[in-house]
A = this chain, B = another copy of it.
Amino acid sequence: MKEKILAEAERLFWKYGVRTITMDDIARRLAISKKTIYQHFTDKEDIVYQVVEWHMTHEQNDYCRLKEKELNPIEEIVLASNMMRQHADKVNPSLLLDVQRYFPKAWEVFLKHKENHITKDLIDNLQRGVEQGLYRSDFDIETMARLRIELIQLGFDERVFPHQRDVYTTQDQLLDHYIRGILSASGLASYEALKTKVNEYNLSIYENK
Protein backbone atom coordinates (compact mmCIF):
# COMPACT_ATOMS: atom_id res chain seq x y z
CA MET A 1 0.00 0.00 0.00
CA LYS A 2 2.78 2.41 0.89
CA GLU A 3 4.35 2.02 -2.57
CA LYS A 4 0.96 2.57 -4.16
CA ILE A 5 0.44 5.80 -2.21
CA LEU A 6 3.93 7.03 -3.08
CA ALA A 7 3.41 6.30 -6.78
CA GLU A 8 0.07 8.07 -6.94
CA ALA A 9 1.29 11.02 -4.86
CA GLU A 10 4.27 11.41 -7.17
CA ARG A 11 2.07 11.31 -10.27
CA LEU A 12 -0.24 13.95 -8.82
CA PHE A 13 2.64 16.18 -7.67
CA TRP A 14 4.26 16.07 -11.12
CA LYS A 15 1.02 16.92 -12.84
CA TYR A 16 -0.64 19.43 -10.53
CA GLY A 17 2.23 20.67 -8.39
CA VAL A 18 3.19 19.84 -4.87
CA ARG A 19 1.24 22.63 -3.17
CA THR A 20 -2.16 22.02 -4.77
CA ILE A 21 -2.48 18.34 -3.92
CA THR A 22 -3.94 17.51 -0.50
CA MET A 23 -4.10 14.29 1.50
CA ASP A 24 -7.78 14.17 0.51
CA ASP A 25 -6.90 14.25 -3.20
CA ILE A 26 -4.52 11.33 -2.82
CA ALA A 27 -7.02 9.31 -0.78
CA ARG A 28 -9.82 10.03 -3.26
CA ARG A 29 -7.71 9.00 -6.25
CA LEU A 30 -6.78 5.69 -4.67
CA ALA A 31 -10.26 5.13 -3.23
CA ILE A 32 -8.81 4.62 0.22
CA SER A 33 -9.43 6.43 3.49
CA LYS A 34 -7.20 9.21 4.79
CA LYS A 35 -6.63 7.01 7.83
CA THR A 36 -4.82 4.50 5.61
CA ILE A 37 -2.51 7.24 4.41
CA TYR A 38 -1.78 8.32 7.97
CA GLN A 39 -0.73 4.76 8.81
CA HIS A 40 2.26 5.30 6.52
CA PHE A 41 2.91 9.03 6.62
CA THR A 42 2.77 11.55 9.45
CA ASP A 43 1.67 14.51 7.29
CA LYS A 44 1.83 16.13 3.87
CA GLU A 45 5.44 17.20 4.43
CA ASP A 46 6.36 13.60 5.18
CA ILE A 47 4.73 12.44 1.93
CA VAL A 48 6.63 15.03 -0.08
CA TYR A 49 9.86 14.04 1.65
CA GLN A 50 9.36 10.34 1.01
CA VAL A 51 8.20 10.88 -2.58
CA VAL A 52 11.40 12.79 -3.35
CA GLU A 53 13.51 10.10 -1.66
CA TRP A 54 11.64 7.34 -3.49
CA HIS A 55 11.91 9.14 -6.82
CA MET A 56 15.64 9.67 -6.40
CA THR A 57 16.20 5.99 -5.58
CA HIS A 58 14.23 4.97 -8.66
CA GLU A 59 16.10 7.43 -10.83
CA GLN A 60 19.38 6.03 -9.56
CA ASN A 61 18.24 2.47 -10.29
CA ASP A 62 17.13 3.47 -13.79
CA TYR A 63 20.50 5.06 -14.35
CA CYS A 64 22.34 1.93 -13.20
CA ARG A 65 20.33 -0.15 -15.65
CA LEU A 66 21.10 2.38 -18.36
CA LYS A 67 24.82 2.10 -17.65
CA GLU A 68 24.68 -1.68 -17.91
CA LYS A 69 23.62 -1.31 -21.55
CA GLU A 70 27.05 0.16 -22.28
CA LEU A 71 25.74 2.73 -24.69
CA ASN A 72 28.10 5.36 -25.96
CA PRO A 73 28.31 8.41 -23.67
CA ILE A 74 26.24 10.56 -26.03
CA GLU A 75 23.31 8.15 -26.11
CA GLU A 76 23.64 7.74 -22.37
CA ILE A 77 23.48 11.46 -21.59
CA VAL A 78 20.47 11.92 -23.86
CA LEU A 79 18.57 9.04 -22.30
CA ALA A 80 19.63 9.76 -18.72
CA SER A 81 18.65 13.41 -19.00
CA ASN A 82 15.21 12.35 -19.97
CA MET A 83 14.49 9.74 -17.38
CA MET A 84 12.43 12.37 -15.66
CA ARG A 85 9.90 11.92 -18.45
CA GLN A 86 9.23 8.33 -17.56
CA HIS A 87 6.71 8.92 -14.85
CA ALA A 88 4.59 11.80 -16.03
CA ASP A 89 2.91 13.09 -19.16
CA LYS A 90 3.08 16.69 -18.18
CA VAL A 91 5.18 18.32 -15.56
CA ASN A 92 3.89 21.10 -13.40
CA PRO A 93 6.45 23.81 -14.10
CA SER A 94 6.58 25.08 -10.52
CA LEU A 95 7.35 21.63 -9.08
CA LEU A 96 11.03 22.08 -8.28
CA LEU A 97 10.58 25.68 -7.16
CA ASP A 98 7.76 24.78 -4.80
CA VAL A 99 9.69 21.94 -3.22
CA GLN A 100 12.65 24.29 -2.78
CA ARG A 101 10.53 26.98 -1.16
CA TYR A 102 7.97 25.11 0.88
CA PHE A 103 9.45 21.68 1.63
CA PRO A 104 13.02 22.33 2.74
CA LYS A 105 13.57 18.83 4.14
CA ALA A 106 12.61 17.23 0.83
CA TRP A 107 14.74 19.76 -1.04
CA GLU A 108 17.67 18.75 1.13
CA VAL A 109 17.26 15.15 -0.11
CA PHE A 110 17.32 16.40 -3.69
CA LEU A 111 20.45 18.49 -3.07
CA LYS A 112 22.27 15.58 -1.43
CA HIS A 113 21.35 13.28 -4.29
CA LYS A 114 22.53 15.90 -6.75
CA GLU A 115 25.87 16.19 -4.97
CA ASN A 116 26.46 12.47 -4.31
CA HIS A 117 25.08 10.86 -7.45
CA ILE A 118 24.11 13.09 -10.36
CA THR A 119 27.31 15.16 -10.35
CA LYS A 120 29.47 12.02 -10.08
CA ASP A 121 27.56 10.21 -12.83
CA LEU A 122 27.90 13.19 -15.14
CA ILE A 123 31.61 13.55 -14.42
CA ASP A 124 32.00 9.86 -15.23
CA ASN A 125 30.03 10.29 -18.47
CA LEU A 126 32.10 13.31 -19.51
CA GLN A 127 35.38 11.53 -18.76
CA ARG A 128 34.39 8.55 -20.91
CA GLY A 129 33.24 10.86 -23.70
CA VAL A 130 36.55 12.70 -23.66
CA GLU A 131 38.53 9.41 -23.60
CA GLN A 132 36.56 8.08 -26.57
CA GLY A 133 37.11 11.29 -28.50
CA LEU A 134 33.38 12.03 -28.67
CA TYR A 135 33.66 15.11 -26.47
CA ARG A 136 36.22 17.87 -26.70
CA SER A 137 39.11 17.65 -24.28
CA ASP A 138 39.54 21.35 -23.60
CA PHE A 139 36.75 21.99 -21.12
CA ASP A 140 36.71 21.68 -17.36
CA ILE A 141 34.82 18.45 -16.66
CA GLU A 142 33.40 19.36 -13.27
CA THR A 143 32.14 22.74 -14.52
CA MET A 144 30.34 21.07 -17.42
CA ALA A 145 28.89 18.38 -15.15
CA ARG A 146 27.50 20.97 -12.75
CA LEU A 147 26.25 23.09 -15.64
CA ARG A 148 24.14 20.22 -16.97
CA ILE A 149 22.37 19.79 -13.62
CA GLU A 150 21.67 23.52 -13.38
CA LEU A 151 20.25 23.49 -16.91
CA ILE A 152 17.73 20.79 -15.99
CA GLN A 153 16.57 22.89 -13.04
CA LEU A 154 16.56 26.04 -15.16
CA GLY A 155 14.39 24.36 -17.78
CA PHE A 156 11.69 23.83 -15.17
CA ASP A 157 11.66 27.50 -14.15
CA GLU A 158 8.77 29.18 -15.93
CA ARG A 159 10.01 32.65 -14.91
CA VAL A 160 13.17 32.18 -16.96
CA PHE A 161 11.47 31.08 -20.18
CA PRO A 162 8.07 32.80 -20.00
CA HIS A 163 7.61 32.60 -23.78
CA GLN A 164 7.47 28.79 -23.65
CA ARG A 165 4.53 27.04 -22.11
CA ASP A 166 5.84 23.53 -22.58
CA VAL A 167 8.60 22.50 -20.20
CA TYR A 168 9.65 19.64 -22.47
CA THR A 169 10.37 21.92 -25.43
CA THR A 170 12.63 24.01 -23.20
CA GLN A 171 14.35 20.90 -21.86
CA ASP A 172 14.90 19.60 -25.42
CA GLN A 173 16.39 22.91 -26.50
CA LEU A 174 18.71 23.08 -23.51
CA LEU A 175 19.78 19.45 -23.87
CA ASP A 176 20.48 19.76 -27.61
CA HIS A 177 22.48 22.94 -27.04
CA TYR A 178 24.36 21.44 -24.10
CA ILE A 179 25.40 18.34 -26.03
CA ARG A 180 26.50 20.31 -29.10
CA GLY A 181 28.59 22.51 -26.82
CA ILE A 182 30.66 19.59 -25.50
CA LEU A 183 31.00 17.48 -28.69
CA SER A 184 34.17 17.03 -30.72
CA ALA A 185 33.88 16.90 -34.53
CA SER A 186 33.54 13.12 -34.50
CA GLY A 187 31.13 13.30 -31.58
CA LEU A 188 28.97 15.70 -33.58
CA ALA A 189 28.81 13.27 -36.52
CA SER A 190 27.79 10.49 -34.17
CA TYR A 191 25.17 12.68 -32.42
CA GLU A 192 23.62 13.73 -35.73
CA ALA A 193 23.54 10.12 -36.92
CA LEU A 194 21.72 9.23 -33.72
CA LYS A 195 19.16 11.97 -34.28
CA THR A 196 18.61 10.93 -37.90
CA LYS A 197 18.12 7.30 -36.92
CA VAL A 198 15.56 8.33 -34.35
CA ASN A 199 13.75 10.55 -36.86
CA GLU A 200 13.71 7.87 -39.56
CA TYR A 201 11.87 5.50 -37.33
CA ASN A 202 9.69 8.38 -36.28
CA LEU A 203 10.46 7.61 -32.68
CA SER A 204 11.02 9.93 -29.85
CA ILE A 205 14.64 9.63 -28.82
CA TYR A 206 13.34 9.20 -25.30
CA GLU A 207 11.07 6.22 -25.94
CA ASN A 208 14.07 4.38 -27.24
CA LYS A 209 15.38 3.45 -23.83
Contact = CB atoms under 8 A, between A and B. Distances in A.
Interface string A112-154: 0000000000000000000000001001101110110010001
A129 B170 CA distance: 21
At the interface, is chain A mostly helix, strand, loop or mixed?
Answer: helix
B173 A146 contact: no
A91 interface: no
A139 B176 contact: yes
A62 to B, nearest CB: 25
A174 B147 contact: yes
A154 B173 CA distance: 18
A150 B154 contact: yes
Interface stretch (A9-17, A73-81, A158-166): A158-166
A130 B118 CA distance: 34
A115 to B, nearest CB: 10
A199 interface: no
B154 A169 contact: no
A104 interface: no
B181 A140 contact: no
A202 B176 CA distance: 33
Between A142, A163, A169, A177, the greatest number of chain B beta carbons within 10 A of the residue's beta carbon is seen for A177
Interchain residue pairs A-B with the least CB separation, the first 10: A181-B181, A177-B181, A180-B181, A143-B173, A142-B163, A140-B173, A146-B161, A150-B154, A150-B160, A143-B161
